[in-house]
Amino acid sequence: MWPERYPLTMRLGSDDLNAQGVQFEHAILAVSLMKERGLDLADLSLGLNTADLATAPFAQLGFMLERARRLRSEAGIPVATSWNVGVPALADQVIREEVIDLVMLGRPALANPHWPVWAARELAHADPFSLVPEDWGCWLRNFRAHPACIGWPLAKTGEGPA
Ligand SMILES: Cc1cc2nc3c(=O)[nH]c(=O)nc-3n(C[C@H](O)[C@H](O)[C@H](O)COP(=O)(O)O)c2cc1C
């Protein structure tokens, strides 16, 4: 029995982009039924259950967002998604505009484990380092990396090695 105090979430392969595979309409139906049975949030992904995709959208920014917006409105459930949403301005916008409820990160988190701090800096947060536990924040605040270091826009801010 799932404890009531924990959210019940599910990652869903919602669209195979192939006429032989899962169609997005079926995913909406499936999530609606699961919502009735206690699902709290759906994490929307592609299907990738078939050998090929009719269109391969992998170079497009936020290509699951339109489906996520539809699922959120038609199934009436909080929705998360990933797939090229790791651009701070886009992640911020889709939360503010209530397109989705939660941004998931795959490769951006691998490329920069401190993505949330970097994103906060990009979004001009007053104190990005306060967003992580103090023992990390203290070390990161005093970190002066090589300007080419991924995710740390030293050249832009004028900061650099002391
Ligand atoms: C190393 C790696 C392993 C992954 N493993 C899974 C997996 O087991 N199941 C899954 O549904 N998605 C998996 N994914 C897909 C991610 O969850 C995510 O949807 C995808 O990377 C797109 O988001 P991104 O643009 O933020 O990377 C994986 C991605 C990466 C990079």
pLDDT tens-place string over residues 63-105: 999 999 999 999 999 999 999 999 999 999 999 999 999 999 9
The DSSP result for 46-68, as a single string, is: ----SS--SS--TTSTTTTHHHH
CA of 82 to the centre of ligand 1 (A): 8
Q: What are the structural domains, with CATH classification, of the chain?
A: 1-108 (3.20.20.70), 112-162 (no CATH)
Q: Average pLDDT, whole number, for the chain?
A: 90
The whole-model pTM stands at: 0.86
CA of 19 to the centre of ligand 1 (A): 23
How many degrees, rounded to 5, is the angle at CA 142 between CA 138 and CA 145?
135
CA of 113 to the centre of ligand 1 (A): 15
Instruction: Please give the DSSP secondary-structure letter assigned to residue 131.
Output: G
Q: How confident is the model at residue 136 (pLDDT cuts 50, 70, 90)?
A: confident
Long-range contacts at 36-41 (CB < 8 A, ≥ 24 apart): 38/2, 38/8, 39/8, 39/9, 39/10, 39/77, 40/7, 40/8, 40/9, 40/77, 40/78, 41/7, 41/8, 41/9, 41/10, 41/77, 41/78, 41/79, 41/80, 41/101, 41/102
Q: Is the pLDDT of residue 161 over 50?
A: no
What the block records as the tokens of 22 is 């899962």
Instruction: Choose the residue to mutate in 104, 110, 112 for probing ligand 1, maximizing ligand atoms within 8 Å of C-beta.
Output: 104
